[in-house]
Homo-oligomer: A and B are copies of this chain.
Amino acid sequence: MSRRVTGPEIERLVQLLARLPGLGPRSARRAALQLVKRKDQLLVPLAEALGRVGESVRVCSTCGNIDTSDPCAVCTDPRRDASTIVVVEDVSDLWALERSGAVDARYHVLGGVLSPLNGVGPDDLDIAGLVERAHDPAVREVILAVNATVDGQTTAHYVTDRLQGLDVTVSRLAHGVPVGGELDYLDEGTLAAAIRARTPF
C-alpha cells in the first residue's frame, strides 16, 4: 500500500504472521485483524503464550525433542520402553508418531536428512548422538522412521552403516497402502511395495 491505511505496528504484525507456515500475505492480514478485534481473548493470551514458550523452551540434549525441560518428558518417562529408539528427521515427525499412539519407546531427532544437493552432510545431523546412545547395552532396536523420500532413504542407509557392529536390530517402517487409501489414487511404487509385502489374510 502506498498510502498509510493502518498503523506500522499492525503492518509489522501482518509481515511476521505471513512468515508462519500455512499463512500467506492475505490470510496473515485476516489473522492480524482477528487478533486486533479479539484482543482480550486472542491477542493478549497469544502474546503471553509466546513469551512463556520463548523463555521456557529447550531442545532435549538427549533426543532433540522440543520441550520445556531437558531431558524432555519423553526421555524421562519411566513407563517407556528404553530398549528401542525411533529415529525421526524432525520434531514434527516425533509429534506425529506420538499422535498415532503406536510408539511406546524413546526417540532420536536427526534434525534433517542427508542431502548433498542442499549441502547437508553427516556432521549437520545428530548422527553421532544416536550412535553414542546405541552403544548403551540396554538399547536393543533402532527403528528408522525417516520419510520415504530419496534423501530419507539415503539417510537411513547411512545411519544403518554407522550402527554396524553394534548389538542392535535396525528396522524401518513398513511400506504399503495407507489405511483408508484407495488403490486407484496410489502411485505404482507404493502399490508394488504393498504387493511384495503382502500378509496372510
Chain A interface (Cβ < 8 Å from any Cβ of B): 1-10, 12-13, 16-17, 19-23, 27, 29-37, 39, 42-47, 49-54, 56-57, 65-69, 72-74, 77, 91-92, 94-95, 98-99, 101
Whether A73 touches B6, Cβ cut-off 8 Å, given contacts A29-B92, A36-B53, A39-B54, is yes
A59: shortest Cβ distance to chain B, in Å? 9
* Contact call A10/B66, Cβ cutoff below 8 A: yes
* Contact call A12/B49, Cβ cutoff below 8 A: yes
* Contact call A33/B2, Cβ cutoff below 8 A: no
* Besides A20-B23, A22-B30, 16 other A-B contacts (C-beta < 8 A): A4-B77, A6-B65, A6-B68, A6-B73, A9-B52, A13-B46, A20-B31, A20-B35, A21-B27, A21-B31, A23-B23, A35-B53, A39-B54, A43-B54, A47-B47, A47-B50
Q: How many copies does the complex hold?
A: 2
A22: chain B residues within 8 A (beta carbon): 22-23, 27, 30-31
Instruction: Jot down 28 A-B pairs with beta carbons below 8 A, ordered by A.
Output: A3-B98, A5-B95, A5-B98, A6-B65, A6-B68, A6-B95, A8-B68, A9-B53, A9-B68, A10-B53, A10-B66, A16-B46, A17-B20, A17-B46, A19-B42, A20-B42, A22-B22, A22-B27, A23-B31, A30-B92, A32-B53, A35-B53, A36-B57, A37-B66, A39-B57, A44-B54, A47-B47, A47-B51
